[in-house]
Structures are given as structure tokens and as C-alpha cells.
Amino acid sequence: MPDLPPALRPPASVSAADRRRGLLFGLLGVACFSLTLPATRLAVAGLDPVFVGLGRAVVAALLAAVVLLAKRSPWPGRALLPRIAVVTAGVVVGFPLFTAWAMRHVPASHGAIVIGLLPLATALAGAWLAHERPTPVFWLCSLVGSAVVVGFALWQGGGAPHPADFLLLAAVAAAAIGYAEGGRLARTLGGWQVISWALLLAAPAVLVPTLWVVDAQMLAAPPLAWAGFAYVGVFSMFLGFFAWYRGLALGGIAVVGQTQLLQPFLTLFASALLLGEALDPATFVAAGLVILSIAIGRRFGTR
């Protein structure tokens, strides 16, 4: 394999400790993301989906500006702007906007079926953009884990195919490319800077349509809608990416990306803890199979 610059080099030579740290950071990011679809559904029940999908980026951009100023972070340079723009298009604009529109038409449980394909899509994007070389065993584990997640969501009653699935598939593609490019950039910039600069780059573009859809009726939206919007703006769009991109940079985009297979189950466990919803044995069996697939995939991750 030809010698590659650090930002493009697959993390095959990193220590076992860094791989473990990458996995832990990835799990922390997934924990933040696990409430994104339910929170989005709460938000769009009382707020315009464009306001929710793009307005969350406005909130996160304000937080990013504060952090960058406090840290006195230098401008990343013109050479990195196209790559930061890819992250912006994927995770700041594409994924939030497509999922917000989709949540207007299908329940979060249905969305989990399609979003369950995101870890596999992230691995494919990592192989393409970051030149990672997952082993055949890894791809098999990724396929098995994705099949378990999608099958579990279908069994739980996520619903039949719906036209909104095209929006969810577009969201998966956008997020996968944004994750892979962001993971590459995080090796040189750091995860928190990647998402912060991506948010600032998007701020002018997302501010105008966000303000355009604001009206007096939105002020009368129920508190739960505003709580959902606050969550996706602060945690899903900002703080979660601090841990997520650091995890991808440390442990590898393909391997750490598989931790998102746990996201539907973390959502169910959180619902049981916070809302008293019951968990059936099938939930624990499916979660166990996914954890096993992640563990084996991590063990035989990249060449």
C-alpha cells in the first residue's frame, strides 16, 4: 500500500489502548445520538420540520462559535475547506433535514429500520474515503449486525415500506459520508474542531431558511416540542460529535462506526428507564447479538 499522509492513513498501527479508547468515545457519541429520532419526532409535532432540521444547526453553531473563541482555535486553512464542506453537507444539513421531514410521516420505530443501515454505510464510506481495509470477517459481522437491527425493528412493528423511506435513505447516505470525512479530518484537527468549523461554515446557509419559516404559531408550540428541539440542537448536533469524531479517529471509521448498531437498543433502554416502558426478552437477545457482532468485528477489523 503506498505511503499516505496522516489524514488519509488507515489507523492500522495504533495501539490497542487507542482502539479501546476509540470504542469508548464512539459509544459515548452513540449514547447522545440514541434519542435523536424520538426527540425529533417530539419537535416536529409542534414545530416546522425545516425549523427543526436546520434550526438545530443554528443552535449548535452558536455553541461552536463560543467554544472556538474560548479555545482561540486557528482557522483551519483554505485547503481543508472543501473537506469541511463535505462534513457540513452530510451531518449538519443533509441528515437532520431528511430525518426531520421523514419524522413528519413515519414513527421513530419505523425510522430505526432504515437508519439501522447507517453503520454498514459508514463502513463503506470509510473504505472509500479513508482508504481503510476491513477484513471479510468484519464485513460479515457488519452485515449480520445490520440484519439483526433491521429484523428486530421490523419484528417490533416498525411498519411496511413507506415513501418517506427515500428521505431516510438519503439521510443514511449523507450521514455516512459526513462521518467518514469527519473521522479523517479528526485525525489532524480533532473531533470537536471538525464539527465546530462545519457548523460555522453552514451557519449562513441554514440561518436564512430557519428564520423564513418562523411564525407566531411556533411560539405556542408545546414545551415537549421545544425540549425535543433543544436536545437535537445541543446534544445530537454538537456535543455528541465531540466524542463521535474522536472515536472514529482513534479506533477507525469502519470499526467504531459499528457501535451505532446499538443505537436502537439504547433508545429502548432509555425509554424503559425514563418512561417506564417494558422491555421483552427479544430486546436483550437482539442487543446481545449486536454486541457480539461488534466485538468480533473489532477483533478482526482491518488488515
Q: Determine the pLDDT at residue 4.
A: 37
Q: What is the pTM of this model?
A: 0.79
Q: Determine the pLDDT at residue 226.
A: 94
Q: How much is the average pLDDT of 26-42?
A: 88
Residue 265 lies in a domain: yes
Say yes or no to pLDDT of 283 above 80: no
Q: What's the domain range around 240?
A: 14-299
Distance CA 81, CA 89 (A): 12
Q: Determine the pLDDT at residue 109.
A: 67
Say yes or no to pLDDT of 302 above 60: no
Distance CA 86, CA 160 (A): 32
Say yes or no to pLDDT of 8 above 70: no
Say yes or no to pLDDT of 5 above 60: no
Q: Determine the pLDDT at residue 11.
A: 45
Q: How much is the average pLDDT of 203-214?
A: 90
How would residue 303 be classed by pLDDT, with cut points 50, 70 and 90? low
Residue 1 lies in a domain: no
Q: Of 101-115, 154-168, 208-222, 276-290, give the range with the top mean pLDDT.
A: 208-222
Q: Determine the pLDDT at residue 275.
A: 54
Say yes or no to pLDDT of 9 above 70: no
| Residue 233 near residue 60, CB atoms below 8 Å | yes
- H-state helical runs in the chain: 16-33, 36-44, 49-71, 81-87, 95-102, 108-115, 118-129, 136-155, 165-186, 191-212, 223-231, 240-251, 253-257, 263-275, 281-299
Grid cell digits, residue 115? 437508519
Among 29-33, 40-44, 47-51, where is mean pLDDT lowest?
40-44
Q: How much is the average pLDDT of 94-111?
A: 80
Residue 8 lies in a domain: no
| Residue 93 near residue 57, CB atoms below 8 Å | yes
| Count of structural domains within the chain | 1
- H-state helical runs in 34-164: 36-44, 49-71, 81-87, 95-102, 108-115, 118-129, 136-155
Partner residues linked to 134 by β-bridges: 302
Residue 38 lies in a domain: yes
Say yes or no to pLDDT of 118 above 70: yes
Q: How much is the average pLDDT of 11-24?
A: 75
What is the percentage of the chain residues whose pLDDT exceeds 70? 88
Helix (H, G, I), strand (E, B) or coil at 134: strand
Residue 80 lies in a domain: yes
Q: Determine the pLDDT at residue 272.
A: 72
Residue 64 lies in a domain: yes
Q: Of 203-217, 261-275, 280-294, give the range with the top mean pLDDT.
A: 203-217
Grid cell digits, residue 19? 482502539
Higher pLDDT, 63 or 163: 63
Residue 7 lies in a domain: no
Residue 93 lies in a domain: yes
Partner residues linked to 302 by β-bridges: 134
Q: How much is the average pLDDT of 191-201?
A: 92
Higher pLDDT, 111 or 92: 92
